[in-house]
Structure 1
Amino acid sequence: MIVVEDLHKSFDGTPVLKGISTVFEKGKTNLIIGRSGSGKTVFLKSLLGLFIPEQGTIIYNGTPYGEMDDEQQRELRQKMGMVFQGSALFDSMTVEENVMFPLKMFTNDSMSGMRDRVDVVLKRVNLTDAHKKFPSEISGGMQKRVAIARAIVNNPQYLFCDEPNSGLDPKTSIVIDNLVQEITQEFDITTVINTHDMNSVMEIGEKIVFLKDGYKAWEGSNKEIFRTDNEAVTSFVYSSELFKKVRQMYLEERN
């Protein structure tokens, strides 16, 4: 679980995060949404410890980040998995080597032990015959699955995803969404996803935090988002005619 209390972050005197408080629960897919410039990326990087807020507290499983010493912060980073926008695989490494990279960085496992662990996570993301291929030899969806395998290879307590469906077709995006949700529930991970994809919001948004101009403008589930009258949320989520129709159908069914 991650608890965020009154988080503030500025750059060159310009406030970007303005007093955000929320809770990201274990075993749930927690989504951060909002327009470009709303503070989503800064918020995600603050959760990762890449940005240090001027005010507020981020608490990881009961321990505030600001109270951790260097060793505790290092241990926390080892418990974090990250899926980057665009996958961010090493072009010169095979799939197996990409997934093994965190194990070499953070463990003292034997080579055979690391290969066994790589086999397990590649099988979990439905990639059993890609070990020796290079990123350029596999599709974008497969690259994303490799990135997920790499993110979970160290059994993280926290999984962060930055626009995991960026550049993917709708069908592949659904596959990635379902995979992330399954892994989150299966391993009881605290998963936080920064996304623009409204299909992800509707499909796997168990907890949604909507940011506007650096503030938390709304939070709730993908079911509650259909019922909200929050104008900032409805104008963002239902900007397309398709989602307007979906919401109307939902409300009519409820009535």
Structure 2
Amino acid sequence: MIEVDNIHKSFGDAHVLKGVSTCFDQGKTNLIIGQSGSGKTVFLKCLLGLFVPEEGSISYSGQKYSELSTSEKRDLRQDMGMVFQGSALFDSMTVEENVMFPMDMFTKRNMGEMRDRVNEVLQRVNLVDANKKYPSEISGGMQKRVAIARAIVMNPKYLFCDEPNSGLDPKTAILIDNLIQEITQEFNITTIINTHDMNSVMEIGEKIIFLKNGFKEWEGTNKEIFKTDNGAVTDFVYSSELFKKVRQMYIEERN
């Protein structure tokens, strides 16, 4: 669980986050949504410890980040897995080497132990016999699964995903969404996803935080988002004709 209490973050005269408070639940897919400039990327980087808020606090499993020692902060970072927007795989490394990279950097496991763990996580993300391939030799969807495997290879308590469906076709995007949700529930991870994909919101939005102009404008589930009368949320979510029709169908069913 990650608890956020009244955090503020500024860059010069730009006040980006303005008193955001929320709680991200363990074992659930928690989504951050909002328009460009809403503060969601800065918020994610604060959660990762890359930015330090000027006010407020962020607690991980009851421990405030600001009260941790340097070594405790280093240990916490090893409990975090990250799936980057563009997968961020090393082109010169094989799939196996990419997934092994965090273990090679932060553990003292021998090569046999690391290979066994790599095979475990590659099997979990449905990538078998891809160990010796390079990123350029596999599809975008497979690259994303490699990125997920690398993110979970250290058994993280917290999984962060920045636009995990970026650049993927709709069918592959749904597969990635389902995989992230399955892994979250299976390993009881606190997963936080920064996204603009409304399909992700509807499919796996067990908790949704909507940011607008640096404020937390709304929070709820993918079922509750249909019911909200918050104009900012409905304008954002139902900006496409498809979701306008979905909302209208929901309203008609209620009546």
TM-score normalised over the length of structure 1: 0.99
Q: Which residue of 1 aligns with 2:171?
A: 171
Q: Which residue of 2 aligns with 1:215?
A: 215
User: How far does residue 248 in structure 1 lie from its aligned partner after superposition?
Assistant: 1.2
What stretches of structure 1 move > 3 A for 4+ residues in a row? none
User: How far does residue 250 in structure 1 lie from its aligned partner after superposition?
Assistant: 1.6
Q: Which residue of 1 aligns with 2:72?
A: 72
User: How far does residue 129 in structure 1 lie from its aligned partner after superposition?
Assistant: 1.3
Q: Which residue of 2 aligns with 1:241?
A: 241
2:135 matched to 1:135?
yes
TM-score normalised over the length of structure 2: 0.99
SS where residue 217 of structure 2 aligns?
Answer: strand
Q: What is the CA deviation profile of residues 7-40 of structure 1, one whole-angstrom value per residue up to 9, with x for unaligned ones?
A: 1000012100000000000000000000000000
Q: Which residue of 1 aligns with 2:6?
A: 6
2:127 matched to 1:94?
no
- Aligned pairs, number: 255
Q: Distance in 1 between matches of 2:14 and 2:35?
A: 18
Percent of residue pairs bearing the same amino acid type? 77
2:200 matched to 1:192?
no
Q: Distance in 2 between matches of 1:121 and 1:28?
A: 20
CA RMSD of aligned residues (A): 0.5
Q: Distance in 1 between matches of 2:245 and 2:174?
A: 20
Q: Which residue of 2 aligns with 1:162?
A: 162
Q: Distance in 1 between matches of 2:68 and 2:164?
A: 30
Tell me the amino acid that sits aligned with residue 248 of structure 1: Q
Unaligned runs of 5+ in 2: none
User: How far does residue 50 in structure 1 lie from its aligned partner after superposition?
Assistant: 0.2
SS where residue 20 of structure 1 aligns?
Answer: strand
